[in-house]
Each structure stands twice: as structure tokens, then as C-alpha cells.
Amino acid sequence: MRDDPEFITRPYRTVDRRAVRAIYGSDEFARPQLQRKVPRMGEYLADSMSHYTDYEPESVFVAEAQGEVVGALLGAVDTARCEGVYRRHIRPLLLRRCLAGAYGWPGWLLPVLRTEWASRRTVYPEVDLRQYPAHLHIGILPVWRRRGIGTALMACYEEALRQRGVAGFHLYASSFHPLGVAFYRKLRLENLGQFEWRLHDGFQWQRVTEHIFGLRLG
Ligand SMILES: CC(C)(COP(=O)(O)OP(=O)(O)OC[C@H]1O[C@@H](n2cnc3c(N)ncnc32)[C@H](O)[C@@H]1OP(=O)(O)O)[C@@H](O)C(=O)NCCC(=O)NCCS
């Protein structure tokens, strides 16, 4: 774990859950206008990422500064297993909470469904999960960016995967996440391919280029 006068990185603890949900419950890049219009979409976004904290907390790492969680890396060691948990537990949770009114008026649902429907013909380059079985998401609060926190969290994750004997990891970075794309390029991850898809942002369609990055740890 990294120690720095400004911040530390460490494994996730259950008490961090609310702070991690706050980071992943904000949509600055994909559908920011829609989230301003439908603020409770944040609860849906946080639930849609809850696999990591609730089913695989040992693969989550946080950065803490001034006593607050300011960044979080959500990892999954076995992507195929993670997708199974998502289908069995997270999708039903989203449906249950939506029907129970936890998200208020679900104004985000139509753009999400339109995007899913438009993606059905997308041709995805296949990621070899024997070589790159793990994956991750990363987010740092805006004022804490560009201070080395993202790099430190990636180092924590990489070290944890090596200790567990995991062959490698991959990740997806959309063109509407330009900071993420610049960050992964700086880290010199392998380029595993890219593909185009369309996102409905609640107001219009956007063309998106999805970059796939990876790293073998063997
Ligand atoms: C991407 C993100 C995690 C990077 O975290 P960070 O703590 O700011 O990254 P670091 O400070 O460790 O930056 C490492 C390098 O990445 C590159 N980089 C990071 N942010 C950048 C930016 N805004 N513009 C250009 N390059 C950038 C730089 O080369 C930087 O090194 P340098 O500062 O020495 O030039 C952070 O910007 C973030 O949370 N963005 C929003 C969410 C997101 O895009 N997540 C990824 C989704 S795919």
C-alpha cells in the first residue's frame, strides 16, 4: 500500500461503502445532463456497480486523503464470474428497486434501453479471458485528480492480482472518458482493440469509440 503525505491507498472496508457509492453515483461524462434532470439516477448508477463492494470487496481499493475516501478502484478477479453475479443478483436488484420507487421517476430507463437495443448488433473484439481474466473500474473525485492517486490505486490492484496469481487484467475506456483514455495510455497498457457503439444520452445519440486495454502479469 502506498503512503504519501497527501493521500494513502488501502484495501476497501465496509465503512467506505457510502463514499464509494458517491463516487460511482455521479455521471459526469456519459449522461451528465440527464443526471441533472433526474438526480436519483445516481442511486441507480451506484447500485449498478454494487457487485464490487457487495460481492467482491477484497478486490476493491480506495484512496484516502484528509480522512475522506477520494478515489476507488473496483476490481473483479474473474470477469466471467462477475458477469454471472451481475445477471443473478444485480439486474434483479435494479429491477426490484426500480419497481419499489427507490430511483424516483426512472427517466434514465428509456435511454439505457435504447442504448442496449442499439448495441445488439455491435461486433465486439473478444478479450481472451485466459490471459486477461480480471477487470477494473477507477474513479477519483475531480479535485483530487492529477496527483498520482489513480496511478497508486492501479499499482495496488496490480500487486494484489500478482499475489493471487492472476494472469492479467483488461478494461474498457469509452471516448466520452477522455481522462481515462489518456491515463491508460500513460500507463502503457497493451492495446487489445477497439469498437464503435452508440450511446443515447437522454437527449440525442452519440457515437462512442470503446478502447480495450490490458496487461498480462505472468
Ligand atoms: C482517469 C483517472 C482515474 C486518472 O486518475 P488520476 O489520479 O487523475 O491520475 P494520475 O494523477 O495518476 O495521472 C497519471 C497520468 O495519466 C495521464 N492523465 C491523467 N489525467 C489526465 C488528463 N486530465 N489529461 C491528460 N492526461 C491525463 C497523465 O499522463 C498523468 O501523468 P502526469 O500527471 O504526470 O502527466 C481520473 O481522471 C478520473 O477519475 N477520471 C474520471 C473517471 C474516469 O475517466 N475513469 C476511467 C473510466 S474508463
Distance (Å) from CA 200 to ligand 1 centroid: 25
Parallel, antiparallel, or unpaired: how do β-strands 190-200 and 134-140 relate?
unpaired
Tally DSSP H helices, then E strands, for the chain: 9, 7
Distance (Å) from CA 135 to ligand 1 centroid: 18
pLDDT (average), residues 182-202: 96
CATH number, domain with residue 123: 3.40.630.30
| 2 part of a folded domain | no
Instruction: Say whether pLDDT at 92 is over 70.
Output: yes
Residue nearest to atom 15 of ligand 1 (CA): 183
Q: Is the CB of 145 under 6 A from ligand 1?
A: yes
Instruction: Say whether pLDDT at 38 is over 60.
Output: yes
| 190 part of a folded domain | yes
Q: Is the CB of 140 under 6 A from ligand 1?
A: yes
- Residue 54: C-alpha distances to residues 50, 51, 166, 182 (Å): 6, 5, 21, 30
pLDDT (average), residues 7-29: 97
pLDDT confidence of residue 91: 96
Q: Is the CB of 179 under 6 A from ligand 1?
A: yes
Instruction: Say whether pLDDT at 4 is over 80.
Output: no
Percent of the chain whose predicted confidence (pLDDT) is above 70: 98
In what order do the strands lie in the sheet containing 60-65? 8-11, 60-65, 68-76, 134-140, 168-174, 205-216, 190-200
Overall pTM surpassing 0.85 (yes/no):
yes
Q: Is the CB of 149 under 6 A from ligand 1?
A: yes
| 23 part of a folded domain | yes
| Residue 111: pLDDT band with limits 50, 70, 90 | very high
Distance (Å) from CA 184 to ligand 1 centroid: 8
- How far is Cα 145 from Cα 85, in angstroms, rounded to an integer? 31
Q: For the range 64-69, what are the long-range contacts, defined as Cβ-Cβ under 8 Å and sequence gap of 24 or more? A: 64/7, 64/8, 64/9, 64/10, 65/6, 65/7, 65/8, 65/144, 65/149, 68/19, 69/16, 69/19, 69/20, 69/23
- How far is Cα 216 from Cα 190, in angstroms, rounded to an integer? 9
pLDDT confidence of residue 218: 79
Q: Are 157 and 76 a contacting pair, CB within 8 Å?
A: no
Q: Could you give the number of structural domains in the chain?
A: 1
pLDDT confidence of residue 190: 96
Q: Are 15 and 53 a contacting pair, CB within 8 Å?
A: no
| 185 part of a folded domain | yes
| 125 part of a folded domain | yes
| 207 part of a folded domain | yes
- Residue 53: C-alpha distances to residues 21, 114, 131 (Å): 9, 28, 24
- Residue 180: C-alpha distances to residues 21, 57, 83, 113, 153 (Å): 19, 23, 22, 25, 14
Which atom of ligand 1 lies at the shortest distance from residue 174's CA?
48
Q: Is the CB of 154 under 6 A from ligand 1?
A: no
Q: In the chain, at which residue ranges do the beta strands (DSSP E only) sit?
A: 8-11, 60-65, 68-76, 134-140, 168-174, 190-200, 205-216
| 72 part of a folded domain | yes
| 1 part of a folded domain | no
**Enclosing domain of residue 95:** 8-216
Q: Is the CB of 109 under 6 A from ligand 1?
A: no
Report helix, strand or coil for 204.
coil
Instruction: Say whether pLDDT at 51 is over 70.
Output: yes
Q: Is the CB of 183 under 6 A from ligand 1?
A: yes
